[in-house]
A and B are shown apart, each in its own frame.
Chain A
């Protein structure tokens, strides 16, 4: 299962855990898996069936513009990052 690193400000939702394991072949599936285990986390990460504005996702250390569609492997690391302008490393 992929390892998902939980942003510090979301850790109250995961009982303080900094990282958890989650199943899923895409980021969307990983979030659904997280939601099953830690209800409420999906709402903090997603809005209108997409990642919330100002949140980016990095899979294996690479911020991806594919967002929820990005592929995740069982050995992947997934990070959710505060994507303040420039913070997503998207356009600098």
Chain B
């Protein structure tokens, strides 16, 4: 456990951007105004699957106030090729196709054309005059349906790949892979209890409160300037440049403040559209999505069909585990089945494992990341099967997990061996928590537990720090601040410099003003950009020691820095005192940090949850919820707790209510926040948090990413609690009142 004592790290300073946000001065993309601004509107497909035979924009173009209309034909005539947009290679036609549909509309809400006009109302009215001749095709909406022989095919050019082998099969299965470890047959032969179950989970959306927005100006000098809400300005830059076929240096992206993303604001949708409209009009063009656009036209997380089979000895030792994971990619390949497969049994040390993963295209929006993408689906299956095994064997469910918990040296089925991880510590904290032994206090109540894993990532980050004469520093970075990372990054610099967090002024800047920085995602920002800040601060310290040495006419090697005071022999000077003398000792002091770190260090989390199930209506009330997570070292404990509570609340919504409710023809029937029921503060109790600190040996301060592992266990924990409350095993998400009543009625029958 973490025992290191720090001055700034581990404290709870007020966030640097707090005043601007609570006073409404923070600038979001929709706030942006500029001279000559036009407003863009995107026309979307009313069909889930249709061939686009003809688009006639002539009436829209003539509508008063309309300045330009575009379709996919307005992309430059680039030959088809594979492009790497940071997520592996993909055909250019697929990348462009999700921005403006080409030959086919592949989901209801697929962007077909766009209009720029003097007002948003004019643009919307004109879009209704665009005539699109569709040949409607049958839609496939789930992975099992899309995998059937004779299923309607989304992409005639898509062939199933099996690890580098083109099978030549035209199908909706983009990819099949398998992880194998040990001898699965021998493992199941050794088992004394075997449970095998099937699971289905619905498509859900990240539900960020701020819709996507983008403003673009195609300047007269050929440069494209973009302002938008994104988790990664450099991704927007690179993708926009690629789709528009301009050099990457011709695109500058300024990330505005962001009202949530959770993985859903990594993909690019409207930035290239706004840019094309700007190119045609010579004016800046702003597009702001409606909530309906967000639901129907951006990437939710995959629905899934899963089979999980686990065998164990009577003493509770798991001998074998097998998973079949078929995830819906949406309209284009790229379901999050890869990470799902990496995480499905990641919390356990199991010798014999087989995992099959299938990436399946369906007629729904192309999916995107959502907080530990793929892992929540998989853990729902594994954690409920383990609960059944514990029940069958008469073993406490936490003891069963402790007996099989992953630890340092455990090898996952996808290959890697764990370094120091905190799975055991999380389980022990759950077992020792008063919640686990508290009385339930009433009928129709039950308690469930589950755990989950997310591996976290590193990736490149850059940071510059310049010293000002009053002893403060300006910190410039490229990571969009979604969850308080300005502060968690600034605190790491402050710790190195020996100054208060408030003496660091962090600023998120555009892509011309800082070195490449990967997305705010993968729970990487406090880890990797924090590390870049650590390196930049070390660079500042090195230069400041040289300045002190110059003043004191001594060797820089003799100068030390401790808690903000430079010393050499009898002489000493605070950071601020030395900062006031930088001009006379050689001019500006600017530190630089650029990293591409390894050793991100995975995070385990666990939940204890109490529910009450109304046997007459099936309504589930969360009575008490405790979230436990190994965070490595909590840089700012309040933000860590906030991440844990936020992930838990989203996991509860995913478990109990949220789903894309689809009509047979592929229309989302609940594309508003009134009907897409996300939990609010009124629905949930206070979510208690327990921070477990098993420092990550791969980071200067021991940081592990904390943003994602917390969404993984809630559905499994809640399903297990529902079983104890109502006696029914739930194997489908969401576990909403109709689903629970159906389960209760089927059991009675």
Contacts and interface: CB of A to CB of B under 8 A. Distances in A.
Contacts of A85: 87-88, 90, 329, 333-336, 338
Interface string A77-88: 101111111111
B506 interface: no
B88 A83 contact: yes
B618 interface: no
Contact of B177 (A11, A61, A82, A89): A82
Given A84-B175, A84-B333, A90 B164 contact: no
Nearest to B523: A92
A9 B177 contact: yes
Contacts of A87: 336-339, 341-342
Contact of B519 (A55, A62, A91): A91
Contacts of A39: none
Interface in B501-554: 518-519, 521-522
A84 B369 contact: no
A74 interface: no
Contacts of A58: 415-416
Contact of B373 (A44, A54, A92): A92
Contacts of A18: 180-181
Contact of B88 (A8, A9, A10, A84): A84
A3 B459 CA distance: 25
A84 B163 contact: no
B466 to A, nearest CB: 29
A9 B178 contact: yes
B165 A44 contact: yes
A92 B414 CA distance: 18
A8 B179 contact: yes
A87 B329 CA distance: 13
Given A44-B164, A79-B414, A86 B336 contact: yes
Interface string B252-264: 0000000000010
Contacts of A61: 415-417, 419
Nearest to A59: B598
A5 B338 contact: no
A82 B338 contact: yes
A11 B459 CA distance: 31
A7 B599 CA distance: 23
A79 B416 contact: yes
B666 interface: no
B178 A8 contact: yes
A55 B522 contact: no
Contacts of B235: 91
A84 B358 CA distance: 10
A92 B177 contact: no
A92 B338 contact: no
B598 A62 contact: yes
Given A9-B177, A18-B180, A83 B338 contact: yes
B359 interface: yes
Nearest to A45: B164
A56 B521 CA distance: 19
B567 to A, nearest CB: 39
B457 A54 contact: no
Interface of B: 82, 86-90, 161-165, 174-181, 232, 235, 263, 266, 329, 333-339, 341-342, 354, 357, 359, 369, 373-374, 414-417, 419, 455, 457-459, 518-519, 521-522, 596, 598-599, 708
In the A-B complex, the 4 residue pairs with the closest CB atoms? A87-B338, A85-B334, A53-B89, A61-B416
29 contacts: A7-B177, A7-B178, A8-B177, A8-B179, A9-B162, A43-B164, A44-B164, A53-B89, A56-B88, A58-B416, A61-B419, A62-B416, A62-B458, A62-B598, A77-B417, A81-B338, A81-B414, A83-B338, A84-B177, A85-B88, A85-B335, A86-B87, A89-B339, A89-B342, A90-B87, A91-B86, A91-B235, A91-B522, A92-B369
